[in-house]
Amino acid sequence: MEASTQRLIPLVRVSRVGDRKGDRFISPRDQIARMAKFATDNGGIELLEVVEELDVSGGAEMSKRHGLRGALEKIEAGRADGLIVGYFDRLARSTETGMEVMRRLAAVRGRLYVAEEGEQKIDTPDAWFVFTIKMATAELYRKQAGVKTHAAKANAIARGVPTFNNITPGYVQPARGKPLEPDPVLAPVVRKAFEMRADGASWNTVRAHLRAHGIVRCLRGTVNLLKSRMVLGELHFGELVNLAAHEAIVDLEVWNQVQRRQKVRGRYSEKPRLLGRLGLVRCGSCGTAMHVGGQTARGKSFPDYRCPGRAAGAACERSMSIHAGVLEPIVEAEAQTILEGRRGTHQAEQRVARLEADLRAAEADRDELIEGFRKVRHVPSAAAQINEAQLLVEALMQELEAAKEAADPIFYIYADQGWQKLSFEEKRRLIRASFVSITILPRTAASRVRFEYSGRQTFLE
């Protein structure tokens, strides 16, 4: 241990909370106690605020590890010196995620400690090998456990029994092992929310309606609730699907109308901005998508990108903002750099478009079957036709994703033009395809901007 105090962020992760509460829910307490003892025994360590990830799988990709990602961003911003976990597998059960953590920490000289083992490193071949083997072992255990429980989960879904805890409001589970039933109090409330949105009500109006009846959701939570297919009587758990699991509480036609109105956009500005409403620019403090805004200084107004913070239901410690005139040239320069020497094919784009049309048609056929057989869903022939239609939809979805991955169709038309010849919308399309996120950190100038790349570009030899 070094003499100077190290500021470490304690990370607590639990794959599944379930109904473990009170004295039965000891895992987070145990993890925190382990980390506190490590700090006391070794000295020179200051434990910062605990970051909790509850109901988060160790195999989740980094984009879904909001707590871990936020902790790394604080370390990268210089607000902490490292990360600590109680046990090795609490960090992750994914070799890819574990190595990303180590690479990002190494880039800013951050440290990782495991309370039961000590500091983790990859700075030598031997250290890299040991860390990789340990993380691969944790990933192997996770995958073996998944294989062992798959049959039980498949059987439960087939019987209409959820294998997860996140039940959409409007339903109750009368007893463990039994299918869901409509909640006599909340089912009409949820049905009304769908009808309101289908009739053109704003998201805030729908959200207020739900809140008035005890269903409290942030804006994003309200949007996600109205995306749920559970209200159609369906259960989805990964590849496991039961399209007639329980009684529907929302008509299919109303549900489809809501989906067509589903997209939530940021605030319109008088002049369209290059990155406006793409959902790429993220606050480095809370991870929320930043919107186009404006500030006034010395009698002059200028556009900026800013975190909506509490207005979007985010608990943001330090809401980020950045001048549009600073950010946009940085993004354009990065896009030009990574697009140089890329190409796609016109045929590939045509294939993607054709598959997208086939998928929409297959989904429409499936939905029509579901609606037609809604009253006779227990008839074997009806269920067989619905399942066959669903299998076709899933096959087309997989084929479409594979075509998109292989084709990079969006890049073909721009390879030889040069950035300056592109239209405003063409630049936006390329930026949207090139980046997963553009995070704004509490630093200065270009060092404030961190890019996460989509990896879709094809490099030329």
On whether both 136 and 230 belong to a single domain, the answer is no
Q: State the total domains in the chain.
A: 4
Structure tokens belonging to residue 273: 């901005």
**74, 87, 8: which is closest to 42 by C-alpha?**
8
* CA separation, residue 253 to residues 176, 257, 258, 260, 320 (Å): 31, 6, 9, 11, 41
> How high is the pLDDT of residue 337?
80
> How high is the pLDDT of residue 313?
54
Q: Among the three residues 114, 145, 176, which one is the final residue of a domain in this structure?
A: 145
Q: Among the three residues 264, 291, 316, which one is the final residue of a domain in this structure?
A: 264
Least confident of 72-81, 113-122, 276-285, 341-350: 341-350
Section 6-31 average pLDDT:
73
> How high is the pLDDT of residue 23?
40
Please tell me the pTM assigned to this model.
0.41
On whether both 211 and 335 belong to a single domain, the answer is no
Indicate the pLDDT class of residue 347, thresholds 50, 70 and 90. Answer: low
Q: Which is it for the CA torsion 190, 191, 196, 200, positive or negative? A: positive
Q: Among the three residues 264, 294, 323, which one is the final residue of a domain in this structure?
A: 264
> How high is the pLDDT of residue 191?
95
In a domain, 459, yes or no: no
Tens-place pLDDT, residues 199-241: 888 888 899 999 999 999 888 888 889 999 999 999 888 777 8
Section 25-48 average pLDDT:
87
pLDDT above 90 for 47: yes
> How high is the pLDDT of residue 61?
87
Section 77-105 average pLDDT:
92
In a domain, 270, yes or no: no
pLDDT above 70 for 126: yes
CATH label of the domain that carries residue 63: 3.40.50.1390
> How high is the pLDDT of residue 345?
44
Domain that holds residue 374: 345-407
Section 91-104 average pLDDT:
92
pLDDT above 70 for 67: yes
Mean pLDDT of the chain: 81
> How high is the pLDDT of residue 9?
94
pLDDT above 90 for 376: no
Q: Distance (Å, rounded) from C-alpha 160 to C-alpha 154? A: 10
> How high is the pLDDT of residue 382?
66
On whether both 85 and 230 belong to a single domain, the answer is no
In a domain, 153, yes or no: no
In a domain, 249, yes or no: yes
Strand (E) positions, 124-254? 171-172, 181-182, 235-237, 240-242
In a domain, 223, yes or no: yes
Q: Distance (Å, rounded) from C-alpha 235 to C-alpha 240? A: 8
Tens-place pLDDT, residues 166-182: 889 999 987 777 889 99
